[in-house]
């Protein structure tokens, strides 16, 4: 069994309220709070789809039994701040951090109740920004008569923009 927890967001949204309003062509301030919430919702939906953090975060990862290595989800990682097994801190001699994005932790022995605290870098480019804008537009346009299927679906045009970032973990 494994668990991943967000401890806190470290950065800011890559899409601003002004950008979203301009994209959707809204000139009034009446729905500003709603749009800000939709920006967060759209970013979160896309982060979960690509299994990567767009907004930098501090995270904790827990796994009850570890043989060999762990591949941390939602990288790229900025720093691994601590690794413990059964509440006892591991030293650099107990593990090795590997991978281009510091996402693989290789352990020298079998461990139980491993907790890893780490910070992610986040991602920011025009494809992700455009994907978020398209998702916000879809959420805004369908805010009053959304069906269960459409609220969980990413528009195909947004999927095409962000799919190259998609990483599956298990």
Q: Over the stretch 13-41, which tens digit does the pLDDT of each residue have?
A: 999 999 999 999 999 999 999 999 999 99
- 41 in any annotated domain: yes
Residue 43 has pLDDT above 90, yes or no: yes
Does one domain contain both 50 and 128? yes
pLDDT, position 110: 96
CA 103, CA 72: separation in Å to the nearest integer?
A: 5
Does 99 share its domain with 129?
A: no
Write out the residue range of the structural domain in which residue 140 sits: 9-54+123-165
Is residue 108 domain-shared with residue 76, that is, in the same domain? yes
Do residues 66 and 89 share a domain? yes
Please answer whether residues 112 and 136 qualify as being in contact, where contact means their C-beta atoms are separated by less than 8 angstroms.
no
Q: Is residue 40 assigned to a domain? A: yes
Does residue 153 lie in a domain region?
A: yes
Ramachandran angles phi, psi of 7, nearest 5°? -80, -45
**How many Cα atoms sit within 13 Å of 117 on the Cβ side?**
10
Q: From CA 38, how far away is CA 143, in angstroms rounded?
A: 10
Residue 47 lies in a domain: yes
Length of the chain: 170
Same domain, 82 and 106: yes
CB 60 within 8 A of CB 120: no
Both 128 and 45 in one domain: the answer is yes
Determine, yes or no, domain membership for 1. Answer: no
State whether 143 and 101 are in the same domain. Answer: no
pTM over 0.75: yes
Domain closes at, from 105, 120, 135: 120
Task: List the one residue out of 70, 81, 168 whose CA is nearest residue 120.
Answer: 81
pLDDT confidence tier of residue 170, bands split at 50, 70 and 90: very low
67 and 17 within one domain: no
Residue 2 in any domain: the answer is no
Specify if 156 maps to a domain: yes
Residue 46 lies in a domain: yes
pLDDT (tens digit per residue) in 144-154: 765 555 555 77
Of the three residues 101, 120, 139, the one that is the final residue of a domain is: 120
69/114 same-domain check:
yes
Asked whether residue 78 falls in the same domain as residue 106, the answer is yes
Domain match, 35 and 65 both: no
Residue 166 CA to residue 134 CA, distance in Å, equals 17
Count up the domains in the chain and report the number: 2
In this structure, of 41-55, 132-146, 147-161, the range with the lowest mean pLDDT score is 147-161
């Amino acid at each position: 069994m494994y668990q991943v927890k967000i401890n806190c967001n470290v950065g800011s949204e890559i899409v601003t309220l002004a950008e979203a309003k301009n994209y959707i062509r809204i000139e009034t301030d009446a729905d500003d709070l709603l749009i800000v919430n939709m920006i967060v919702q759209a970013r979160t939906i896309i982060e979960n789809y690509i299994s990567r953090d767009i907004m930098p975060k501090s995270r904790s990862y827990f796994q009850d039994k570890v043989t060999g290595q762990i591949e941390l989800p939602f990288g790229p990682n900025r720093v691994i701040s601590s690794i413990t097994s059964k509440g006892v801190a591991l030293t650099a001699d107990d593990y090795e951090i590997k991978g281009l994005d510091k996402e693989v932790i290789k352990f020298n022995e079998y461990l139980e109740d491993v907790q890893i605290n780490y910070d992610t870098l986040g991602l920011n480019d025009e494809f992700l920004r455009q994907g978020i804008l398209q998702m916000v537009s879809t959420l805004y346009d369908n805010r009053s008569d959304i069906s269960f299927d459409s609220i969980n679906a990413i528009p195909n045009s947004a999927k095409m923009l962000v799919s190259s970032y998609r990483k599956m973990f298990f």
